[in-house]
């Protein structure tokens, strides 16, 4: 028996026009991941539907249900398949009476992003624009792409991010770019995993566990962004997954995925970038983006060592200087010009670009020495693209070793 479900395909935007019968071409799938994954079976089911392979589609969806009896999307697809065979289906989720249209639309959105993971995989030869350098203690980094509902895991290979895993993830009901408490948005920016909360310390709502994130960070504070309690966590035991935009602001993954992801997270060392959409660059463009920002840091370092106070202070934005005040600038100028000599060594860099593309955050170890002081500090700088030049918009010392000799 030959039949088709054009409504399903049109709904999830898989064709340029409804009724076309061209084959869905799936990208590479499930490398280094448990196999077959649920996403892969969803994609294969939709591909079978397009090709009118009814029995194969039903077999795949039955495998989905056997693997995860709590996977609501699988039941929706199976119901549509059975109704289509009976000639009673007009649209995806087209039951005669739909008790919860909002919940149905959520499941449709989930079908779309799960399938798009296979139709539009990142090019393996490209690198994420948001992660430009990883320090030696950052073995892995996470990047959440809200538009794709994917959480990417990168391994640190000589300071560069190499994609090794990706997982379906849900974000806030109102998307990303959180500004205030209760806006039901997920923050957009660069954060760290600060701790781990095991299951025994949590209610069942959080599933397998939770990793609190460092929102709000220093930059959020300068922007007046409020709110708290942004976590990466699992789902209740009677739920396999949540639709793409259904959290209060947290990042939410399936419990089996949470357990896998936890192997790559080291609290206080693992960074996580959250973006509305990730941009992937070829290696040449990626290296150029990194070089441009690093050049600004090196110029700041050079001006400091050459004790050129005017050029050094010009490396900061007007907003920073205004917040710091005239006293800070006068004190900095005095400390620079009154030293006999200054030497500044920078090492162990990590470098991330904010989703807005005009803000970068760099972490490094600063070894400062002069004729009066020797100090080793872990430092974080936020750089703003200001009139086509990267300038320091925020500066923060993170950790400091005991000073050697005496201060002035």
Q: Which domains are seen in the chain, by residue range?
A: 6-119 (no CATH), 127-280 (2.40.440.10), 282-400 (3.10.450.50)
Stretch 1-10: mean pLDDT, rounded?
Answer: 40
pLDDT at 32: 46
pLDDT at 37: 75
Mean model confidence pLDDT for the chain: 85
CA torsion through residues 370, 374, 376, 382, sign:
negative
- If pLDDT is split at 50, 70 and 90, which confidence band does 23 have? very low
Distance in angstroms between the alpha carbons of the first and the last residue of the chain: 88
pLDDT at 42: 80
Q: Which residues contact 262 (CB under 8 A, 6 or more apart)?
A: 196, 208, 209, 211
Count other C-beta atoms under 10 Å from residue 9's C-beta.
21
Cα Rg, the chain, nearest whole Å: 25
pLDDT of residue 6 exceeding 50? no
pLDDT of residue 34 exceeding 50? no
pLDDT at 404: 44
| Contact in structure between 278 and 176 (CB atoms under 8 Å) | no
For 128, 265, 268, 314, 364, the CA distances from 348, given in Å and listed in that order, are 20, 19, 16, 25, 5
Instruction: Note the pLDDT tens digit of each residue in 79-111.
Output: 777 776 665 444 444 444 445 555 677 877 887
pLDDT of residue 226 exceeding 60? yes
- If pLDDT is split at 50, 70 and 90, which confidence band does 167 have? very high
pLDDT at 36: 63
Instruction: Note the pLDDT tens digit of each residue in 285-317.
Output: 999 999 999 999 999 999 999 999 999 999 999
Stretch 170-180: mean pLDDT, rounded?
Answer: 96
Nearest to 181 by CA among 275, 249, 274: 249
pLDDT at 403: 42
Nearest to 109 by CA among 168, 62, 61: 168
pLDDT of residue 10 exceeding 90? no
Helix/strand/coil for 397:
strand
pLDDT of residue 115 exceeding 80? no
Report how far residue 205's alpha carbon sits from residue 274's, in angstroms, rounded to the nearest whole number: 23
Stretch 198-212: mean pLDDT, rounded?
Answer: 95
pLDDT of residue 149 exceeding 60? yes
Give this prediction's pTM: 0.82
Stretch 221-240: mean pLDDT, rounded?
Answer: 94
- If pLDDT is split at 50, 70 and 90, which confidence band does 116 have? confident
- What stretches of 231-373 adopt beta strand conformation (E)? 231-233, 245-247, 251-252, 271-275, 280-281, 342-353, 359-370
DSSP string, 367-392: EEEESS-EEEEEEEEEEEEETTEEEE
Stretch 304-332: mean pLDDT, rounded?
Answer: 96
Stretch 345-356: mean pLDDT, rounded?
Answer: 96
Q: Which residues contact 67 (CB under 8 A, 6 or more apart)?
A: 38, 41
- If pLDDT is split at 50, 70 and 90, which confidence band does 44 have? confident
pLDDT at 22: 41
Report how far residue 349's alpha carbon sits from residue 379's, in angstroms, rounded to the nearest whole number: 10
pLDDT at 71: 83
Share of the chain above pLDDT 90, in %: 63
pLDDT at 86: 64
For 16, 134, 174, 274, the CA distances from 349, given in Å and listed in that order, are 45, 7, 34, 20
Helix/strand/coil percent split, the chain, to 5: 35, 25, 40
């Amino acid at each position: 028996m030959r039949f088709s479900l054009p409504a399903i395909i049109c709904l999830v935007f898989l064709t340029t026009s409804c009724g076309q019968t061209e084959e869905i071409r799936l990208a590479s799938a499930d490398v280094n991941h448990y196999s077959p994954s649920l996403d892969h079976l969803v994609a294969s089911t939709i591909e079978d539907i397009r090709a009118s392979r009814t029995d194969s589609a039903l077999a795949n969806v039955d495998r989905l249900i056997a693997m995860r009896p709590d996977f609501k999307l699988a039941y929706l697809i199976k119901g549509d398949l059975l109704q289509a065979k009976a000639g009673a289906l007009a649209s995806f989720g087209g039951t005669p009476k739909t008790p919860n249209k909002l919940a149905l639309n959520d499941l449709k959105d989930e079908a779309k992003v799960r399938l798009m993971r296979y139709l539009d995989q990142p090019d393996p030869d490209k690198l994420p624009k948001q992660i430009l350098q990883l320090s030696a203690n950052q073995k892995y980094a996470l990047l959440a792409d809200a538009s794709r509902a994917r959480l990417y895991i990168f391994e640190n290979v000589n300071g560069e991010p190499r994609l090794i895993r990706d997982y379906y993830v849900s974000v806030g009901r109102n998307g990303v770019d959180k500004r205030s408490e209760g806006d039901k948005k997920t923050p957009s920016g660069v954060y760290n995993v600060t701790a781990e909360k095991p299951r025994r310390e949590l209610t069942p709502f959080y599933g397998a566990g939770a990793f609190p994130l460092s929102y709000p960070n220093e930059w959020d504070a300068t922007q007046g962004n409020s709110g708290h309690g942004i976590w990466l966590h699992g789902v209740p035991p009677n739920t396999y997954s949540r639709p793409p935009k259904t959290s209060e602001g947290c990042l939410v993954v399936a419990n089996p995925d949470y357990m896998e992801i936890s192997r790559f997270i080291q609290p206080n060392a693992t960074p996580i970038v959250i973006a509305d959409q990730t941009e992937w660059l070829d290696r040449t463009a990626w290296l150029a983006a990194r070089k441009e920002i690093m050049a600004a840091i090196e110029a700041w370092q050079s001006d400091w060592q050459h004790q050129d106070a005017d050029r050094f202070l010009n490396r900061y934005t007007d907003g920073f200087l205004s917040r710091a005040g005239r006293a800070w600038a006068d004190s900095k100028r005095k400390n620079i010009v009154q030293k006999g000599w200054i030497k500044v060594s920078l090492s162990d860099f990590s470098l991330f670009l904010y989703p807005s593309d005009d803000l970068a955050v760099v972490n490094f170890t600063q070894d400062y020495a002069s004729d009066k002081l020797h100090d080793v500090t872990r430092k974080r700088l936020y750089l703003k693209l200001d009139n086509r030049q990267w300038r320091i918009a925020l500066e923060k010392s993170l950790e400091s070793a005991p000073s050697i000799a005496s201060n002035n």
